[in-house]
Amino acid sequence: MKLVDTHCHLHFDAFDADREEVIQRSLDAGVTHLINVGTDHGTNEKAYSLCSKHSFMRHTAGLHPHSAHLENADDEMDRFIARTKPVAVGEIGLDYFKSEADSEIQKKVFRQMLELAQKFDLPVIVHSRNAFDDTYEILNSVGAHGRAPVRGVMHCFSYDEEAMKKLLDIGFLVSFTGIVTYKNASVLAAAKKAPLGHFMLETDAPYLAPQGFRGKRNEPAYLAESARFLAQTRGEDLEKLAQVTSETASRFFKIAL
């Protein structure tokens, strides 16, 4: 079985003490490709520097809604993308659950980042929490004729089946973390119905460890747990789930597996 962890943060301080062991455990568990997602200028640089040492890891350029009020969004991000060639712009988005940033600032930065992705023809990784309506409206308002302007994924999907359908209708993907194993009814219902080829898997490590490891630091090796759980819940062959989600990630990020 080969899996792609499409969203983790191995460049975060949480892995400073044992990063290489974590990477080895990931490879041993069949998680052979990792996307390290940046959240602000500092972590974008760290993700880039880590990924330049490992060919099976790629980095992104993000400005998380939690940091939307702290950074000068435009110019520095533009230069970073041109210089380092990330595989996506993200994570970007809206978080009305616990962000320090005012919602108007979040929306402004989110729009700027979508335009930047459009300029560089990159897909986006969208973080959206307690903010589905505004997220969806902005995704649509940036594009013409009701189509999303860029290819994108809503990461750590935490809404319901109806929201998922709306995203799939504008060509978006969704991705599921270990929270599917917490058996939250609406997320699980969406995960059961998500069509193969339109969703990916991720850990969001160091956050959101799956049920058996809940409360501990998460790591990419645990992606195998979520994959196993999902395959069982969906009544699907694990190998097939792994293969199709990996192929979806390969197409989305334009990475060879």
Interface contacts to Zn ion, rule CB under 5 A: 91, 127, 204
When the beta carbons of 11 and 127 are compared against Zn ion, the nearer one is: 127
Residue 227 CB, nearest distance to Zn ion (Å)? 18
Residue 240 CB, nearest distance to Zn ion (Å)? 27
Nearest by Cα to 252 from 4, 11, 66 = 4
Residue 2 CB, nearest distance to Zn ion (Å)? 22
When the beta carbons of 29 and 131 are compared against Zn ion, the nearer one is: 131
- Cα 6 from chain centroid (whole Å): 6
Q: Residue number with the shortest CB distance to Zn ion?
A: 127
When the beta carbons of 46 and 127 are compared against Zn ion, the nearer one is: 127
Burial class of residue 89 (count of CB atoms within 10 Å of its CB; 0-12, 13-18, 19+): buried
Does residue 69 contact residue 105 with C-beta atoms inside 8 Å?
yes
In angstroms, the CA 166 to CA 66 distance is 25
When the beta carbons of 80 and 82 are compared against Zn ion, the nearer one is: 80
Burial class of residue 216 (count of CB atoms within 10 Å of its CB; 0-12, 13-18, 19+): exposed
Phi-psi region of 208 (alpha: psi -120 to 50; beta: other; left: phi over 0): left
When the beta carbons of 61 and 146 are compared against Zn ion, the nearer one is: 61
Residue 106 CB, nearest distance to Zn ion (Å)? 13
Residue 21 CB, nearest distance to Zn ion (Å)? 21
